[in-house]
Amino acid sequence: MKIGVFDSGIGGLTVLKALTEKYKNDYVYVADLKNSPYGEKTEEQLEKILLDMLDYLVSIKVDVIVIACGTLSSIALKLNISEYKGIKVLNVISAIKYHLDKRKYDNIVLMATLSTITQGNFKRIISNNTENVIDCPCVDFVPLIEGRKASKKEKIEVVQKYLTTDIVEKIQNNSAIILGCTHYPVLLDEIKEISKIDEIILPSNAMIEYIKDNYEFIKDDTLKLQVCTNKETDVFKDFVNTIFNYNKIVKI
């Protein structure tokens, strides 16, 4: 089975890593670094990006598409895309929603890009699973993560900028944090340290749970991986090499 996975850059690698560890298949990962970051783009721009990415993956004949990006998952939900030109399309927001449907919280902090928060699709979808959704658009997270040069102190300061004392005090009982952008797990240690709670929902874990219960992949005997990007950067190469010990990135 050939599975296409895509994101604006390194964030989706967290989802890809979880998939490759669970299912041996033929994977193609596409990093749309040319259009990164997505968080500040208009909905019209994001719709075009989403359709262009889907068309590319259809053109290389994948069997399943995984949108490993919270921002474009929100757009896919808006456009009601669960299948595209005959190919099943999975997205991380639907996966997180599936995880949440087994639970009920007093508060959920939705940490996501400004675009995802502004669209409101994510908040609407999870509103039945909590008494209160706390919007937390983390504008500085993706540039910090993509830069990959921040110190521990700098990471803590940026996380504290968004997880304020007021929010942290509010979420100490029966609350959860959703990392609504697949980049954000890179800051998981800092988010745990500041929030002081353990219930942090990761897109990668939710996607594995979602697939396992609903769309069990046919496993191949061997794992194959191809990583592609439309703009080469040293930071992306470093992340891919660190996570997968892989350095044969294809320029598309």
Q: Is the pLDDT of residue 59 over 80?
A: yes
Q: What is the largest CA-CA distance in the chain?
A: 50
Which among 136, 138, 181, 228 is annotated as catalytic? 181
Question: According to the model, what pLDDT value does residue 19 have?
Answer: 95
For the record, the structure tokens of 225 come out as: 């991986």
* Close Cβ partners of 10 (under 8 Å, ≥ 6 residues apart): 31, 145, 146, 183, 186, 235, 236, 239
What pLDDT is stored for residue 199 in this prediction? 94
pLDDT of 28 reads 98
Mean pLDDT, all residues of the chain: 94
What DSSP string runs through 191-237?
A: HHHHH--S-EE-HHHHHHHHHHHH-PPPPPSS-EEEEEESS--HHHH
DSSP 8-state secondary structure symbol assigned to residue 41? S
Residue 145's nearest CA partner among 187, 117, 110 is 187
Please give the CATH topology (third level) of the domain spanning 103-202. Answer: Rossmann fold (3.40.50)
pLDDT in tens, 116-168: 999 999 999 999 999 999 999 999 999 899 887 789 999 999 999 999 999 99
40-69 mean pLDDT: 96
Ordered by start, the domain boundaries in the chain are: 2-94+206-251, 103-202
Whats the size of the chain, residue-wise?
Answer: 252
Q: For 161-187, write each residue's pLDDT tens digit.
A: 999 999 999 999 999 999 999 999 999
Q: Would you say 150 and 158 are in contact if contact means Cβ atoms under 8 Å apart?
A: yes
Mean pLDDT of 31-56: 94
Q: Are strands 130-137 and 200-201 parallel, antiparallel or unpaired?
A: unpaired
CATH topology for 2-94+206-251 is Rossmann fold (3.40.50)
**What is the predicted pLDDT for the residue at 92?**
97
Mean pLDDT score, 62-68: 97
Q: For residue 77, give every residue at least 6 positions away whose Cβ sits within 8 Å of its Cβ, in sequence order, or none.
A: 91, 93, 94, 121, 125
Rounded CA gap, 200 and 230, in Å?
Answer: 32
181 catalytic residue (yes or no):
yes
Q: By mean pLDDT, which of 33-42, 106-115, 204-213 is the weakest?
A: 33-42
Whether the CB-CB separation of 39 and 115 falls below 8 Å is answered with: yes
* 138 part of the active site: no
Q: Half-sphere exposure of 195 toward its Cβ, with a 13 Å CA cutoff?
A: 27
Q: What is the pLDDT of residue 221?
A: 84
First to last CA, the chain: 22
Q: From start to end of the chain, where are the E strands?
A: 2-7, 26-31, 64-67, 83-84, 87-91, 105-112, 130-137, 175-179, 200-201, 224-229, 250-251
At 182, the amino acid letter reads T
Q: Which two tokens stand for residue 33?
A: 């670094």
Query: Is the fold of 2-94+206-251 the same as that of 103-202?
Result: yes
Task: Round to whole Å and give the CA distance between 66 and 5.
Answer: 5
- Quick: pLDDT tens for 78-126: 999 999 999 999 999 999 999 999 899 999 999 999 999 999 999 999 9
pLDDT over 90 at 218, yes or no:
no
At 146 the pLDDT is 84
- Report percent pLDDT > 90 for the chain: 87
C-alpha to C-alpha distance for 129 and 108, rounded to whole angstroms: 9
